[in-house]
Structure 1
Amino acid sequence: MSDKDGKKPLGLGGGRPGQVKQSFSHGRTKSVVVETKRKRVVVPKAGAGATGDKPRVTPESAAAAVAASSRRPAGLSEAEMERRLRALAAAKAREEEETAQRAAEEKAREEERERRRAEIEAKEREDREREEALRAKEEEDARRTREAAEAAEAEKAARAAARRDETTARAGAAAGAGAGAAARTPRKPASPAGQTPQDRAAAEAAAARAETKGVSATGPRRSSPGSDRDRNDRDARGKTAGRDENRRAGKLSLNQALEGGEGGRQRSLAAMKRKQEKARQKAMGGAMRAEKQARDVQLPETIVVSELANRMAERAADVVKALMKMGMMVTANQTIDADTAELVIDEFGHNAVRVSDADVEQVIDTVEDKTEDLQSRPPIITIMGHVDHGKTSLLDAIRKANVVSGEAGGITQHIGAYQVTTESGAVLTFLDTPGHAAFTSMRARGAQVTDIVVLVVAADDAVMPQTVEAINHAKAAKVPMIVAINKVDKPQADPQKVRTDLLQHEVVVEAMSGEVQDVEVSAKTGLGLDNLLEAIALQAEILELKANPKRAAQGAVIEAQLDVGRGPVATVLVQNGTLKRGDIFVVGEQWGKVRALINDKGERVDEAAPSVPVEVLGLNGTPEAGDVLNVVDTEAHAREIADYRMQAAKDKRAAAGAAITLDQMLAKAKADENVAELPVVVKADVQGSAEAIVQALEKVGNDEVRVRVLHYGVGAITESDIGLAEASRAPVIGFNVRANAPARNAANQKGVEIRYYSIIYDLVDDIKAAASGLLSAEVRENFIGYAEIKETFRVSGVGTVAGCLVTEGVARRSAGVRLLRDNVVIHEGTLKTLKRFKDEVKEVQSGQECGMAFENYDDIRKGDVIEIFEREEVERKL
Structure 2
Amino acid sequence: MSDTDGKKPLGVRGGPRSGNVKQSFSHGRTKNVVVETKRKRVVVPKAGAGGTAAGGNVRTDGSKRPAGISDSEMERRLKALQAAKAREAEETAQRAADEKAREEERERRRAEQEAKEREEREREAALKAKAEEEERKKREEEEAAVRAAAAQAAPPAPDAEQRAQRQAPARGPAAAAPAATPSRKKEREEDRGGRRTRDDSGRRSGKLTLNQALSGEGGRQKSMAAMKRKQERLRQKAMGGAESREKIVRDVQVPETIVVSELANRMAERVGEVVKALMNNGMMVTQNQTIDADTAELIIEEFGHKIVRVSDADVEDVIHSVEDKEEDLQPRPPVITIMGHVDHGKTSLLDAIRETNVTGGEAGGITQHIGAYQVTTKDGAVLSFLDTPGHAAFTSMRSRGAQVTDIVVLVVAADDAVMPQTVEAIAHAKAAGVPMIVAINKIDKPAANPTKVRTDLLQHEVVVEAMSGEVQDVEVSAHTRQGLDELLEAIALQAEILELRANPNRAAEGAVIEAQLDVGRGPVATVLVQNGTLKQGDIFVVGEQWGKVRAMENDQGERVKEAGPSVPVEVLGLNGTPEAGDVLNVVETEAQAREIAEYRQQAAKEKRAAAGAATTLEQLMQKAKDDKNVSEMPIIVKADVQGSAEAIVQAMEKIGNDEVRVRVLHYGVGAITETDVGLAEASGAPIMGFNVRANAPARNSANQKGVEIRYYSVIYDLVDDVKAAASGLLSNEIRENFIGYANIKEVFKVSNVGKVAGCLVTEGVARRSAGVRLLRDDVVIHEGTLKTLKRFKDEVAEVQSGQECGMAFENYDDVRPGDVIEIFEREEVERSL
TM-score clears 0.5: yes
Judge which range, 294-303 or 794-803, deviates more. 794-803
Letter in 2 for 1:732: I
Letter in 1 for 2:534: L
Backbone CA RMSD of aligned residues: 4.3
Partner of 2:579: 624
Measured against aligned partners, the alpha-carbon deviations of 1:156-200 in whole angstroms (never above 9, x if no partner) come to: xxxxxxxxxxxxxxxxxxxxxxxxxxxxxxxxxxxxxxxxxxxxx
Partner of 1:301: 256
Q: Contact 2:110/2:238 (CA < 8 Å) preserved in 1?
A: no
Q: Contact 1:391/1:456 (CA < 8 Å) preserved in 2?
A: yes
SS of the equivalent of 2:410 reads strand
Q: Contact 1:570/1:615 (CA < 8 Å) preserved in 2?
A: yes
SS of the equivalent of 2:661 reads strand
Measured against aligned partners, the alpha-carbon deviations of 1:799-828 in whole angstroms (never above 9, x if no partner) come to: 788898988766655444567899887765
Partner of 1:567: 522
Measured after TM superposition, the shift of residue 379 of structure 1 is: 1.0
Q: Contact 1:584/1:593 (CA < 8 Å) preserved in 2?
A: yes
Matched, 1:633 2:607: no
Change (3 A) 1:866 1:577: closer
Change (3 A) 1:709 1:280: closer
Measured after TM superposition, the shift of residue 596 of structure 1 is: 1.8
Measured after TM superposition, the shift of residue 563 of structure 1 is: 1.9
Q: Contact 1:365/1:552 (CA < 8 Å) preserved in 2?
A: no
Measured after TM superposition, the shift of residue 649 of structure 1 is: 1.4
Measured after TM superposition, the shift of residue 749 of structure 1 is: 3.4
- How many angstroms apart in 2 are the aligned matches of 1:229 and 1:860? 128
Partner of 2:182: none
Measured after TM superposition, the shift of residue 769 of structure 1 is: 1.8
Measured after TM superposition, the shift of residue 333 of structure 1 is: 3.5
Equivalent of 1:468, from 423, 446, 465?
A: 423
- How many angstroms apart in 2 are the aligned matches of 1:622 and 1:280? 61
Partner of 1:359: 314
Change (3 A) 1:813 1:360: same
Partner of 2:647: 692
- How many angstroms apart in 1 are the aligned matches of 2:94 and 2:475? 114
Matched, 1:778 2:726: no
Judge which range, 740-749 or 687-696, deviates more. 740-749
Measured after TM superposition, the shift of residue 207 of structure 1 is: 12
Equivalent of 2:398, from 432, 435, 443?
A: 443
Judge which range, 852-861 or 497-506, deviates more. 852-861
Measured after TM superposition, the shift of residue 703 of structure 1 is: 2.0
- How many angstroms apart in 1 are the aligned matches of 2:533 and 2:103? 77
- How many angstroms apart in 2 are the aligned matches of 1:229 and 1:570? 76
Matched, 1:337 2:292: yes
Equivalent of 1:310, from 240, 243, 265?
A: 265
SS of the equivalent of 1:585 reads strand
Change (3 A) 1:610 1:838: same
Letter in 2 for 1:550: N
Change (3 A) 1:293 1:834: closer
Matched, 1:394 2:384: no
Change (3 A) 1:480 1:863: closer
Q: Contact 2:673/2:697 (CA < 8 Å) preserved in 1?
A: yes
Equivalent of 1:548, from 491, 503, 508?
A: 503
- How many angstroms apart in 2 are the aligned matches of 1:742 and 1:801? 73
Measured against aligned partners, the alpha-carbon deviations of 1:524-567 in whole angstroms (never above 9, x if no partner) come to: 22111111111111111122222222222111111111222322
Partner of 1:481: 436
Q: Contact 2:465/2:471 (CA < 8 Å) preserved in 1?
A: yes
Judge which range, 598-607 or 623-632, deviates more. 598-607
- How many angstroms apart in 2 are the aligned matches of 1:206 and 1:629? 69
Equivalent of 2:480, from 500, 525, 529?
A: 525
Measured after TM superposition, the shift of residue 473 of structure 1 is: 1.6
Letter in 2 for 1:730: A
Letter in 1 for 2:356: A
Partner of 1:602: 557
SS of the equivalent of 1:368 reads coil
Aligned ranges 1:606-685 → 2 under 5 Å: 606-658=561-613, 660-685=615-640
- How many angstroms apart in 2 are the aligned matches of 1:430 and 1:204? 85
Measured after TM superposition, the shift of residue 789 of structure 1 is: 8.8
Matched, 1:709 2:659: no
Judge which range, 320-329 or 470-479, deviates more. 320-329
Equivalent of 2:542, from 566, 571, 587?
A: 587
Measured after TM superposition, the shift of residue 431 of structure 1 is: 0.8
- How many angstroms apart in 1 are the aligned matches of 2:97 and 2:772? 140
Judge which range, 311-320 or 277-286, deviates more. 277-286
- Give the structure with higher Rg (CA): 1
Measured after TM superposition, the shift of residue 590 of structure 1 is: 0.9
SS of the equivalent of 1:730 reads coil
Aligned ranges 1:828-839 → 2 under 5 Å: 829-832=784-787
- How many angstroms apart in 2 are the aligned matches of 1:865 and 1:212? 124
Change (3 A) 1:875 1:573: same
- How many angstroms apart in 2 are the aligned matches of 1:229 and 1:864? 128
Change (3 A) 1:836 1:611: same
Measured against aligned partners, the alpha-carbon deviations of 1:377-415 in whole angstroms (never above 9, x if no partner) come to: 211111112222221121121111111122221222111
Equivalent of 2:689, from 734, 738, 745?
A: 734
- How many angstroms apart in 2 are the aligned matches of 1:497 and 1:209? 106
SS of the equivalent of 2:722 reads helix
Q: Contact 1:510/1:518 (CA < 8 Å) preserved in 2?
A: yes
Matched, 1:415 2:370: yes
Measured after TM superposition, the shift of residue 780 of structure 1 is: 2.2
Q: Contact 2:109/2:239 (CA < 8 Å) preserved in 1?
A: no
Measured against aligned partners, the alpha-carbon deviations of 1:485-507 in whole angstroms (never above 9, x if no partner) come to: 11222222222222222222222
Q: Contact 2:106/2:240 (CA < 8 Å) preserved in 1?
A: no
Judge which range, 863-872 or 768-777, deviates more. 863-872
Aligned ranges 1:267-282 → 2 under 5 Å: 279=235
Q: Contact 1:810/1:845 (CA < 8 Å) preserved in 2?
A: yes
Judge which range, 230-239 or 615-624, deviates more. 230-239
Measured after TM superposition, the shift of residue 638 of structure 1 is: 0.9
Q: Contact 1:683/1:734 (CA < 8 Å) preserved in 2?
A: yes
Partner of 1:719: 674
SS of the equivalent of 1:594 reads strand
- How many angstroms apart in 1 are the aligned matches of 2:384 and 2:757? 86
Letter in 2 for 1:647: Q
- How many angstroms apart in 1 are the aligned matches of 2:251 and 2:99? 48
SS of the equivalent of 1:457 reads strand
Q: Contact 2:264/2:270 (CA < 8 Å) preserved in 1?
A: yes
Change (3 A) 1:737 1:241: farther
Structure 1, unpaired ranges of 5+: 1-202, 215-226, 244-249, 251-261
User: What TM-score, normalized by structure 1, do the two folds share?
Assistant: 0.65
Measured after TM superposition, the shift of residue 578 of structure 1 is: 1.6
Measured against aligned partners, the alpha-carbon deviations of 1:567-587 in whole angstroms (never above 9, x if no partner) come to: 221111111122222221111
Partner of 1:490: 445
Aligned ranges 1:153-172 → 2 under 5 Å: none
SS of the equivalent of 1:397 reads helix
Change (3 A) 1:617 1:793: same
Change (3 A) 1:325 1:818: closer
Q: Contact 1:808/1:847 (CA < 8 Å) preserved in 2?
A: yes
- How many angstroms apart in 2 are the aligned matches of 1:782 and 1:418? 62
SS of the equivalent of 1:333 reads coil
User: What TM-score, normalized by structure 2, do the two folds share?
Assistant: 0.68
Structure 2, unpaired ranges of 5+: 1-92, 122-192, 194-218
Measured after TM superposition, the shift of residue 588 of structure 1 is: 0.8
Partner of 1:174: none
- How many angstroms apart in 2 are the aligned matches of 1:441 and 1:748? 36
Change (3 A) 1:497 1:241: farther
The alignment-based identity, stated in percent, is 79
